[in-house]
Amino acid sequence: DQQVKQNSPSLSVQEGRISILNCDYTNSMFDYFLWYKKYPAEGPTFLISISSIKDKNEDGRFTVFLNKSAKHLSLHIVPSQPGDSAVYFCAASEDTDKLIFGTGTRLQVFP
């Protein structure tokens, strides 16, 4: 059973606009969440994270929002740039460093 779900396999956004990537989880014991970005032919790279004691974490153009009651988190990219085109993975962990990944969302930012 998929504990971390990314229900949108793809997203297309115009350059300069906001990109919103969504992630849902089922395990209420998860208390740390991460987003990874993956370019073709490269491994995933860490983007941003959030602890369950927070509901928002911001790093430059990237902001992650966490709604614990809904078991939902989202990644906002503002403004979106063509270089942001990649696959984005949501991941979660419980009380260990084992990461449970979602299936990924392919973001395409067009001019």
- The site for other proteins (CB under 8 A) is made up of 4, 32, 36, 41-46, 49, 89, 91, 93, 95-99, 101-104
Residue 57 C-beta: closest distance to other proteins, Å: 12
DSSP state of 83: G
SS3 19: strand
**How many whole angstroms separate alpha carbon 28 and alpha carbon 83?**
34
Least distance (Å) from other proteins to the CB of residue 70? 21
Q: How far is the CB of 64 from other proteins (least distance, A)?
A: 14
What Rg value do the Cα atoms of the chain yield, rounded? 13
Query: What tokens does 64 get?
Result: 């992650």
> Closer to other proteins at the Cβ: 64 or 91?
91
